[in-house]
Structure 1
Amino acid sequence: MDVQAPKSPVRAGGRAARRSLRSTRDVAMLPGLTNTLPHCEIMDDGQVEKIDAASMDILENVGVVFRDEIALNDWRRAGAKLVGERVYLDRGLVRELIATIPASFTYHARNPANNVALGGRQAVFVPMTGAPYLRDLEDVRRNPTLEDLAMFHKLSHMSPALHSTAHHIVEPYDHPISQRHLRITYSSMKHSDKMFMGMTTSPRNAEDVMEMCAILFGDVFLESHPVTTGNCNGNSPLVWDETMLGAMRAFCRRNQPVLCSPFVLGGANTPASVPATVAQLNAEALSALAYSQVIRKGAPAIYGHYLSTVSMRSGAPMAGTPEISLMNFMIGQMARYYNVPWRTSNLLGGAKTLDAQAGYESATTLSAVMHAGAHYIWHSAGWNEAGMHCSVAKFVVDAEQCAMAYRMAQGPQWNDFETALAAVPDVGPGGHYLGHPHTQEHFQTAYFMPELFDNNSIEQWTAEGSKEITARALDHARALLAAYEEPQLDAAINEALLDYIDRRERQIPPADALNQEY
């Protein structure tokens, strides 16, 4: 079905809470981030080339397993050497293929005002996905529902520094696994007019996402405009499976971006060495990036990864460690070496609540990610307990942290330097600037003023209830949800999406199976 790309929504007026929120807080999405910070490049040119040579040696002499007959046939036609399911990739072939990946492109949202560029200095913040639990508005850890998923999509929509609603921020347990992808995709489309991600839990599920995107944007529009993102995780070390490869084909054939993401548990499924881990990860990512171009040359693809180090005491994945920051810096250099956009994970916490540990871990990762020059900055809100839950409180705090990072990445603002400097002789020694006309004109924008951090005196903090960050964040989330206004879908498009979901749910048995072929 061909449908024109939807126009910008017209939002109806509403309740006093909405008017009050909008009169005091701007919830319009910030433009895509232009990161002006210098890149932190911790490898010299020789070390970059050393990682590249080691990765190419892995591809040529160790090989990568592709557990998928279609992919094996594709590689055979492309001229690769195959021994069973193991594919040996010549470095010349790899370089030739990855050279056809666009270095940058633009994502198109259903509201064109929310389109964002990716690549070069252009980056986006994307919320977390995949949590089997949430910490809700009462800070209770429990199983999520479709209603909880909708809540997070609404909070994403109301958070200016988040450029996407992602997809299954939390797993909706009140809907069958085999049909869940349909309702998750619809929730992303319905509750926000920002860009979103597409489910890749099976090849057929990915095809459903593509069909729903075609309903929303139109087949012709989809063919030449990136509108969503698929994530394809590798099985480290050096394995790509049928589920991910089939989903990758569904996206690439429709010219939609995919994240080619090795899943690193440093010391468990990689060597116990930062440089060697990056060499293996780089080989894995390159093999998938190259395959995306075997599927369709010129299709957008993103160098991906998930980084964690493993505690040698417990075997548990860790967040915020120094090695994760170092690997982000190194991977950023490798992605720039190949001139491809890259994805990382952001604001990760291993803590069980929004406590000091969660804050330290998240802040460490955020700082590294910004200085590494990442483009697709995923898991930017809500991630805690190693991804086992999404916290409402942490979600809104993280979103504000992204806004603060956004402001930092813009760099110093020089547009009013001369007029600001002229205030110095006006005030003179021993004076203050609070009443100066320049301060009066610029005080609201000169310095970022966090809403969720408390910087008042202890007397005022006590008088206002001695609320710590979790309580303040949950109050903030409730206020956002009370003021939420749904960006209405075109009625015909909405009906077509619901008809498609209804038809597919009648075709797909409500069985707990991920790889159905219906």
Structure 2
Amino acid sequence: MNAQSPRRSGGRAARRASRAAPLTQDIRPIRAGMQGGHYKPLSDQDVLRIHETALTALEQIGLIDAPQSGIDIMTSAGAILGEDGRLRFPRALVEDMLAKACKDITLCGRDTQYDLQLNGHRVHYGTAGAAVHMVDIDTNDYRDSTLQDLHDAARIAHQLDNIHFLQRPMVARDVTDNKEMDLNSIYACSSGTTKHIGVSFTDPAFVPDALEMLHMIAGGEQAWRDRPFVSNTNCFVVPPMKFATESCEVMEACIRGGMPVLLLSAGMAGATAPSTIAGAIVQATAECLAGMVYVNAIKPGHPAIFGTWPFGLDLRTGAMSVGSGEQALLSAGCAQMHKFYGLPGGAAAGASDSKLPDMQAGWEQMCSNVMAGLSGLNMVYEAAGMHASLLGFCHESLILGDDLIGQAQRCVRGIEVDDATLALEEIRSVCVGGPGHYLGTDATLSRMQKDHVYPTFGDRTSPKEWAEVGKPDLIAKAKARKEEILSTPASARFAPDLDQALRARFNIHLQP
């Protein structure tokens, strides 16, 4: 027995080392783009009624305040401008433009390994938002967010397997010039991650310089147009049923420049959208359908994400309730409408009303992240790091959110039923002349990595073991991981000659 012990011990050590090594893509239990769609809060009849009501709203009510360029574009396609200034959309026009719309979008990363395929029920989780504060976990205070905070968020997100894209999650409040803020946001995000990035522009006049910067980063205009790794998050409407004039002009410029767009309708149920969940979905759907007409009248088939983002409202106080069950239902219901149209879509989930990464944040973030994933939402925005009803962002919460989203993705993956997973022969071998348990069997060991998602920071030890290692705190572990990531050079940083050229052309505020 003793002679055999080293051999068995060595085998165990080898297995432990193997399990600790990064998993190859073919055996990872979760990954970007897994198929959701198992959860459907709306019946087929519900979906049809929402669709018909949205079309009626477009035909009878329409939208106002499009820029003159947009009026010309949409009326040339068949929209009708009324004497009241509202553009109305015949249902035949909407149907024609839906037929032309892009149904299969590739959101490129600067690195091809991070490309995202948006079709069907493929699910991707990432950041988003325009928080104006950072959560300081050492003092439990809020402070203004900065360009360095944005760059650090990009660097952290780059290292997190379950954060699949980075839409700018905060505003760089230390850059007071709007044009410089927009350009520096691109620089800060792109030098922090090679995953796909989403940014906004405050003025259409800023887009040409932004495109010039992106051409430089990509290696030329054609290289950029072949693989646009940044998309424009565009709040093209100001609900209810009004176009956002300058944002529409930004969208037109971005489309001409080959940039994918997120058509974002962000009404607040009870304030700028109907208070009912169904009514808020109707309005968001109608507004985004108008956006699809707009985009495809400019350039048929241009990549545009159907961004129905209705938010919940606490009707007692007027405060946003992004962490509510109603919010989870809003986003899941919107995902069903995206699938009805066969369009790549996105909505908000995973944000919290809690001010800190605490238990309230945990239940709020998990509830909507799971429901959005199960519904097959292609792009789950604001899925990690967002607090205080979108006013605050927290780096440590972003890191913990990676663990949380890992568990949400395991729910999205669902239950596989086949001969191997039904395990009849395994049950037979264990129960008939076997050890009477499944610990250490070949089947258990062979599937422990393929079937199970293990938390990085979540603690599954016993109270005794937890005490023996100093009662580690979840937030402290996330802070240590943050410091570890930020203490090493960013792998996405630009080559020295490119960085020098960018700094010579643009006023870059980040220190080299």
The normalised TM-score by structure 2 is: 0.86
Per-residue deviation at 1:373? Answer: 1.0
Per mean C-alpha deviation after superposition, the further-off stretch among 231-240 and 420-429 is 420-429
Given the superposition, is the C-alpha separation of residues 276 and 486 from structure 1 closer, same or farther in structure 2, using an over 3 Å criterion? same
Quote the Cα distance in structure 2 between the aligned partners of 1:23 and 1:447: 12
* Distance in 2 of aligned mates of 1:331 and 1:419: 35
Cα shift at 1:150:
1.6
2:184 counterpart residue number = 183
| Structure 2: distance between partners of 1:38 and 1:427 | 36
**In structure 2, what residue type is equivalent to 1:47?**
D
After TM superposition, the structure 1 = structure 2 runs for residues 274-313 of structure 1, keeping only pairs within 5 Å, are 274-313=277-316
Change beyond 3 A, Cα 1:155–1:222: same
Would you say the 8 A contact 1:348–1:361 is kept in 2? Answer: yes
SS at match of 2:506: helix
The answer for the alignment partner of 1:432 in structure 2 is 437
Could you tell me which residue of structure 1 aligns to residue 77 of structure 2?
78
Distance 2:459 2:401 in 1: 15
Q: Which one is further off, 440-449 or 265-274?
A: 440-449
What secondary structure does 1:170 align onto?
A: coil
How far did residue 379 of structure 1 move? 0.8
| Corresponding residue for residue 232 of structure 1 | 234
1:412-491 to 2 correspondences below 5 Å = 412=415, 417=420, 422-428=425-431, 431-482=436-487, 485-491=490-496
Q: SS of the residue aligned with 2:191?
A: helix
Structure 2 distance, partners of 1:215, 1:260, is 26
User: Counterpart of 1:63?
Assistant: 62
* C-alpha separation in 2, matches of 1:309 and 1:424: 48
Q: Deviations over 1:233-290 (max 9, x none)?
A: 2211011122210111122112322111111211111222222222112111111121
Partner in structure 1 of residue 162 of structure 2: 161
In structure 2, do the counterparts of structure 1 residues 99 and 164 end up closer, same or farther at CA, with 3 Å as the change threshold?
same
Contact 2:103 2:342 in 1 (8 A): yes
CA spacing shift, 1:421–1:206, aligned 2, 3 Å? farther
Task: Tell me the residue number matched to 1:222.
Answer: 224
Q: Please tell me whether the aligned partners of residues 365 and 384 of structure 2 are also in contact (alpha carbons under 8 angstroms).
A: no
Q: Is the 8 A contact 1:136 1:392 kept in 2?
A: no
**Residue 370 (structure 1) aligned to one of 360, 368, 373:** 373
Structure 2's unaligned 5+ residue stretches are 1-17
Matched, 1:349 2:325: no
Counterpart residue number, 2:113: 113
1:345 Cα deviation after fit: 1.0
Measured in 2, the distance between the counterparts of 1:170 and 1:274 equals: 28
Cα distance change, pair 493–95 in 1 and its aligned pair in 2 (3 A): farther
SS at match of 2:504: helix
TM-aligned CA deviation for residue 377 of structure 1: 1.4
Q: CA deviation at 1:439?
A: 3.6
Matched residue count: 482
Alpha-carbon distance in structure 2 between the residues aligned to 1:437 and 1:461: 30
Partner residue in 2 for 1:128: 128
Distance 2:203 2:419 in 1: 53
Residue 214 (structure 2) aligns with: 213
Amino acid at match of 1:195: H
Q: Distance in 1 between matches of 2:23 and 2:437?
A: 33
Q: CA deviation at 1:224?
A: 4.1
Instruction: Give 5+ residue unaligned stretches, structure 1.
Output: 1-21, 506-518
- 1:197 maps to 198
Segment of structure 1 superposing worse, 325-334 or 180-189 = 325-334
Alignment match of 2:506 (pick from 501, 505, 512): 501
Please give the alpha-carbon distance, in whole angstroms, between the structure 2 residues aligned to 1:149 and 1:416.
48
Q: After alignment, is 390-399 or 423-432 more displaced?
A: 423-432
For 1:255 and 1:299, the matched residues in 2 are separated by 8
Contact 2:335/2:347 (CA < 8 Å) preserved in 1? no
Q: Structure 1 residue 166: deviation in Å?
A: 2.0
Task: State the partner residue of 1:402.
Answer: 405
TM-score relative to the length of structure 1: 0.85
Residue 441 of structure 1 deviates from its aligned partner by 4.3
**What is the distance in 2 between the residues matched to 1:44 and 1:413?**
25
Q: Paired residue for 1:247? A: 250
Moved more, 196-205 or 354-363: 196-205
For 2:188, give the aligned amino acid.
S
- In structure 2, relative to structure 1, the CA distance for the partners of 1:38 and 1:293 (3 Å cut) is closer
1:96 Cα deviation from its structure 2 partner: 1.0
Contact 1:128 1:382 in 2 (8 A): no
CA distance in 2, matches of 1:466, 1:142: 29
Alpha carbons of structure 1 residues 438 and 273: separation in structure 2 relative to 1, 3 Å: closer
